[in-house]
Chains A and B, each alone.
Chain A
Amino acid sequence: MKTVASTAELRSETEAVTTVDRGAMSWPLAILSVVTTALVVTLPLGRSEFAGIMWLWLVALGGVLTLNLLVPMETWTGVVVKWVTLSGCLAFLLVFPIGRAASTLLDMGLFAVFGMVCVGTNLVHGFAGKVTLAQAAFLGIGAYVSVLFDTGREIAVASVTVTLPNLPFLLAIGIAGLTCMVFSVLIGFPALRVQGPWLAFVTLAFNLLVYLVLNNEEGLTEGSRGIRILRDDVTVFGIDLASGRNYYYFCLVFLIAATLLVWWIVRSPWGRAFKALRDNPARAASLGVDIRTYTLLAFSISAGLAGVAGALYARLIEFVDPRGFYIGQSFDFFLATVVGGLGTLVGPFIGVSFITILTDRLRIAGDYYRVWFGLFVVVMMLLAPKGVAGSFNELRARLQKRRREHGAKET
């Protein structure tokens, strides 16, 4: 080979690499995809019980996933199947609340709110590779900050009494998110000095600290009595959020926005820097990646999302008390993200579906809830060590490789 090839030569070689042959469209498969997806959307209609619906939905979703496995992603058919599936999932989330009982809408709202937290957790843990067990703390900070700022409450800290302003709900949500970002940068600096399990301990300690403050600063938070805040007077752009269904849609908008944000970040150069950070921080630094700034960015974005989710959460259950933000809740978010599949965009949704179903189903188990939940996680990790979405992707890659080898043999 010559030492320097001409530009034209390079270009032709390069083009040979970049162009993908998408092949012909397979209509039967595409139609099958539309039918399965339609089932996913319509199966739960007319059923009232939350968990039953979610199980059905998961079964139907399994069908869609299998179809995704069978069709190579890079073909036109694959592209169509993917988009049909995605829009089907979105349609489900939109159609679902029609004609539901208030309790089911509450569960769906929890799905949206917790989903948002997990989307953030996935960014910092799945993509940037930093284990964080403080998401419940940020959820709590977000919840309390929003409640303090949009109800005109009077607070007393260290014998100083202040009357806080009564800000519009949307503004309070924004303040909640920003406060969490500030806190995350503050703990981010010391936390950056440690890695892996030690980082998890630092964040866990922070979570505990936040819990203790929320529980003991009664002048600020009413302590363990909690604060009751009704949604009946909340309107945004003239839409009355007192109705359960409206509020669910309101949360859903935030969930979708959060997902789009993370999707955008992950495909941007930031996303590559995050992955570089996760795979090999020393090498990343030697290539000019500012690991401190990127780590703080990942941390603060995920904390901001959790803070916004916290503000939505407070109004969803119309009550805040410190127990909802104990470290156990952080573990739930952590496990949901891991079970769903770290570093995948759909993973958090799968994980959060599981935890919302399980919390609903296991309510009868009372205090034994976490035992069952733990058992479930262990089984899931044995079945799908990379999480549901991660293992699914792996399986697809393996099938793709086999297909390719098969194709190579034939030619």
Chain B
Amino acid sequence: MAVIDDVADVDPGHPSKPQEVVVRVRNITKSFGGIRAVDNVSFDLKQGEILGVIGPNGCGKTTLFNCILGQYRPDAGSVELHGRDVSRWRPHRRAKAGLARTFQLLQVFQSMSVRDNLRTAAQEHVGSMGGRLFRRPDMGLSDEIDRLIVRFRLAHLAEERAGNLSYGQQKLLDTAMAFVSRPAAVFLDEPAGGVNPAMLGDLKERIRDLNQNDGMTFAIVEHNMEFIFGLADRVVVLEQGRILMTGTPDEVREDRRVLEVYLGG
């Protein structure tokens, strides 16, 4: 099987979008015991693009995200945000610097209201630690948060406990929490997982809206091919921890190696 190792400089690109690199991932390697979960992965995430990351189960997609965002410390490799090396930073510092994410499993604060969830997501990005004790409880963020609530169609649920929401609504909230701080890049880990088809269109619409109107940059791990091919500008295919290929959705769809990986052909 052919494996392309160094594809970072291969760039099909998107003609209408600027090409400044936001996140530069270089040679990330992470092993668990004897298993190389991520093996020498490099790619660039460019300003304003939506990058899809796909691959069969257990190919290291989530581990890769965890290495980039600091949940895991990789064995080797580096992560740069706007040219600054953030490889040794703890997760909260990367988040403050502009790397936002969601997790594969639902991660909202169940006991808090929808609004408080978003406030929590926003508050650490403004002011100082001491200031946070003495500022107004809403940190002067209410307007912005309410706007986001409306944008994600959660207005009627603003004061509801997050734990009382339906799964799809919680997923929307989870995704909204990643945007509230206006991050430089957003990493979504299976945003479509477990969301019913009706809401899926909604979610896709929100992501596209934020990408096109706010110029937000995305990297999205996804199993739902239809969802990701309809959204991404570029797709990275992982297989056994390595990058199998990078290309536009059309190129990936028609690639023989990708078919082999997915169908075991």
Contact = CB atoms under 8 A, between A and B. Distances in A.
Nearest to A20: B159
A268 B116 CA distance: 11
A17 interface: yes
Given A10-B147, A275-B112, A279-B109, A268 B133 contact: yes
A285 interface: yes
A interface: dominant SS: helix
What class of interface size applies to chain A in its complex with B?
A: 35 or more
Contacts of A13: 150, 155
Contact of A273 (B124, B143, B208): B124
A269 B213 contact: no
B47 interface: no
A278 to B, nearest CB: 8
A280 B162 CA distance: 13
Given A285-B95, A289-B92, A265 B133 contact: yes
Please classify how large the interface on chain B is, using the bins under 10, 10 to 19, 20 to 34, 35 or more. Answer: 35 or more
A286 B71 contact: yes
Given A14-B146, A269-B119, A283-B103, A288 B96 contact: yes
B252 to A, nearest CB: 27
A3 B95 contact: no
Nearest to A283: B107
B132 A270 contact: yes
A272 B120 contact: yes
B107 A280 contact: yes
Given A17-B155, A269-B137, A288-B95, A275 B71 contact: no
A224 interface: no
Interface string A257-296: 0000000110111101101100110111111111111000
A291 B120 CA distance: 13
Nearest to A397: B161
SS class, residues of chain B in contact with chain A:
helix
B158 interface: yes
Contacts of B75: none
A273 B120 contact: yes
Given A4-B213, A18-B146, A269 B133 contact: yes
A1 B150 CA distance: 11
Given A18-B158, A276-B120, A293-B129, A287 B134 contact: no
B91 interface: yes
A293 B132 CA distance: 13
A5 B92 CA distance: 32
B205 A286 contact: no
Contacts of A287: 92, 95, 100, 120-121, 124, 177, 181
A16 interface: yes
B90 interface: yes
A17 B158 contact: yes
Contacts of B111: 275, 279, 343
B177 A269 contact: no
Interface in B151-190: 151, 153, 155-156, 158-159, 177, 181
A318 B140 CA distance: 49
Contacts of B95: 285-288
Interface string B112-155: 10001001110111000100111101010001001101110101
A4 B158 contact: no
Contacts of B228: none
Given A270-B132, A289-B124, A279 B159 contact: no
Contacts of A276: 109, 112, 120
A280 B107 CA distance: 7
A280 B155 contact: no
B37 interface: no
Interface in B224-244: none
Contacts of B123: 269, 272-273
- Interface centre among B116, B143, B146, by most chain A C-beta atoms within 10 angstroms, is B146
A282 B134 contact: no
Contacts of B158: 17-18
Contacts of A288: 92, 95-96, 121, 124-125, 181
7 contacts: A3-B212, A4-B209, A10-B146, A17-B159, A268-B132, A279-B110, A287-B181
Q: What 6 A-B pairs have minimum CB-CB distances, sorted nearest first?
A: A288-B124, A288-B95, A14-B146, A283-B107, A279-B109, A285-B91
